[in-house]
Structure 1
């Protein structure tokens, strides 16, 4: 797709669609803090000074922009994107503030934390004055934020995680973040549940005979039907057993005629989280939609679009969703 197309999208959505064209197949490793290569790299890049009982701090973390020393266990962490904020929540930490808080609030998975805690909204795009006013003791950013590291690091210690080298956008970046702030036990707890649910999902999909069926994952919007492949849906194909459609492995959008041409046996579909307009219902009303094999066989599953992205709790929910499917 053209650069102009991506400039029209939200930074996160554009980033996810770029990832969607990458890494559609290959070996998937067991991502747990004890076995994750990213966790090992994170540990190797962090030197811990002698602890004074403050959970391994001070600590120096090597990241995309250099080295940052975190002097003490942070209690007022702010993030420059809602995915990083989500990662904190998934570790049991309430972020002190985040940019694009309203985008996180779209997903019902986080209602409890957002409704019961005061989290500062740092603006969309990021408002640097709001960051100053939040008085954080640590700032966490991702490379795709394009936030001004100089400005941020002048406010508080700042780490910028590089997502460009990851082979699993949620698990590796999530682990890097958790390792950077020494949340080892929280990571172990999360992945213990994640891996157990994954085994349950694999068994359930085998039992209900959905394994081996061609499947696509799409998000409907007013003008474009986005297609998620590659890193975003790797676990569904490589581990849960759905079959990808090779000709669509690099596609980032799909129209109805192309959908009819490849006619997947299973369709997972969600509404555009950035601008919900009832696009899924409009698709259902189209004549082409009614001809699809997945529609005729009742193998169209509507879902929260959090399962398509890099959010840790969203990926846990994805496994629970797959485990509980009714064929």
Structure 2
């Protein structure tokens, strides 16, 4: 079946103004949720599909070193194939392991383990090496002394979290910054692979991924999908330009009008629970214990009364790959989850 299109509000403003309002204003909880899509408009990808022009090391073959990589922090010469790598940004551990490269030092995300459970499950062949990872601190404030002590020959971080310490990191070892944020996962994976001299491998992965996503879209109907995440202090729905949102876009999956806004996510209160509704709702949570925000929201009558709830279409997903780690293997897990749910 033909895949249902997705329409970004920036490209169809006139259509969406009355349908969902400003991206800063949650959906009106008093209205009945609708899965009706906006009128057709010119569609562009919500995020980059490749390395930006002028970045990477164009003209340099894979496996060739030294190589000079232009990235989001500047230009960095990598004199030899890296063997002692430190990864700081969320998703970069996933990315290097996907390419078969095992780092030495690893940072962790807020509320996350040094090695997320899904990484351990997906890469059992590296279990011994992962047990020896050196903890270099929280990705938002990495331990620079611990990084320097490792004498790395490459540091990987992203601009979103590490721009302020880029000069310090560069003084320790050649450092490459990706852009960061989930919607940039393809671009960041390809740029990271360039620094490792493995661009063809990464491009092949991305191409295969997009092909699989399109196959899913060709197979399913027009059901809408919603992405929801609970943390200790927030409840959010995720828009089209988000990690899961971009994956759904690749598959041509329809989104509820309440989630066709032009930013990563949008908080919603208990009174605004209807903005989370769709034909299928995929829910991740960092904490689902007694008294947690997740428990409070999901026991609210507005939640239990959503169409997805009454039809048994609330799907609990692994928070790490779906909402925290924007890496290529995480993307595969999301796509597999969508495929399993929507084609059963």
If the TM-score is normalised by the length of the shorter chain, which range does it land in?
0.7 to 0.9
Residue range with higher mean Cα deviation, 257-266 or 115-124: 257-266
Q: Does 1:82 align with 2:99?
A: no
The 3-state SS of whatever aligns with 2:142 is coil
1:143 maps to 159
- Identify the residue that residue 225 of structure 1 maps to in structure 2: 235
Distance 1:116-1:277 versus aligned 2 partners, 3 A rule: farther
Q: How does 1:210-221 map to 2 (within 5 A)?
A: 211-221=221-231
- Give how far 1:41 is off: 4.2
Q: How does 1:65-80 map to 2 (within 5 A)?
A: 65-80=73-88
Structure 1 outlier segments of 4+, above 6 Å: none
Change (3 A) 1:257 1:265: farther
Q: Secondary structure at the match of 2:267?
A: coil
1:60–1:220: structure 2 CA closer, same or farther, 3 Å change rule?
same
Q: CA deviation at 1:171?
A: 0.7
Cα shift readout 1:267-305 (whole Å, capped 9, x = no counterpart): 111112xx5646444443322222110011111111112
Select between 248-257 and 263-272 the one with higher mean Cα deviation. 248-257
Residue 131 of structure 1, aligned match among 138, 143, 147: 147
The separation in 2 between residues aligned to 1:140 and 1:30, in whole angstroms, is 21
Contact residue 216 and residue 267 of structure 1 kept, 8 A: yes
Structure 1 residues 69-96: Cα deviation after superposition (integer angstroms, max 9, x where no partner): 1111111111222322221112121111
| Alpha carbons 2:284, 2:323 under 8 Å: kept | no
- What CA distance in whole angstroms lies between the structure 1 residues aligned with 2:175 and 2:280? 43
Verify the 8 A CA contact 2:274 2:306 in the aligned structure 1: yes
CA offsets, 1:31-86, max 9 Å, x none?
8xxxx54266434x5564xx9xx921011112233321111111111122232222
The answer to which structure has the higher helix fraction is 1
Deviation, 1:192, is 4.6
> 3-state DSSP class of the match of 2:312?
coil
What is the alpha-carbon distance in structure 2 between the residues aligned to residue 276 and residue 185 of structure 1?
41
TM-score by length of 1: 0.76
Which stretch has the larger CA shift, 146-155 or 234-243?
234-243
- Number of matched residues? 287
CA shift at 1:247, angstroms?
6.5
Q: How does 1:98-177 map to 2 (within 5 A)?
A: 98-100=106-108, 102-111=112-121, 112=123, 115-117=127-129, 118-124=132-138, 125-146=141-162, 147-163=164-180, 168-177=183-192
Q: Tell me, yes or no, if structure 1 residue 288 matches structure 2 residue 296.
A: no
**Cα-to-partner distance string for 1:141-183 (whole Å, 9 max, x where unaligned):** 211123512221221111222348x9x4111111111122211
> Does the Cα contact within 8 Å between 2:46 and 2:246 map onto a contact in 1?
no
Is the 1:38–1:172 Cα contact (8 Å) retained in structure 2?
A: yes
Higher relative contact order (CA 8 A, sep 6+): 2
- In 2, Cα distance between equivalents of 1:258 and 1:265: 17
How far 1:29 moved relative to its partner?
9.0
Q: Deviations over 1:243-272 (max 9, x none)?
A: 231476255112232123674332111112
Give SS of 2:137's match.
Answer: coil
In structure 2, stretches of 5+ residues that fail to align are 1-22, 25-41
Secondary structure of the residue that 1:212 maps to in structure 2? coil
1:181 corresponds to? 196
Cα-Cα RMSD: 3.1
What TM-score comes out, normalization by structure 2 length? 0.72
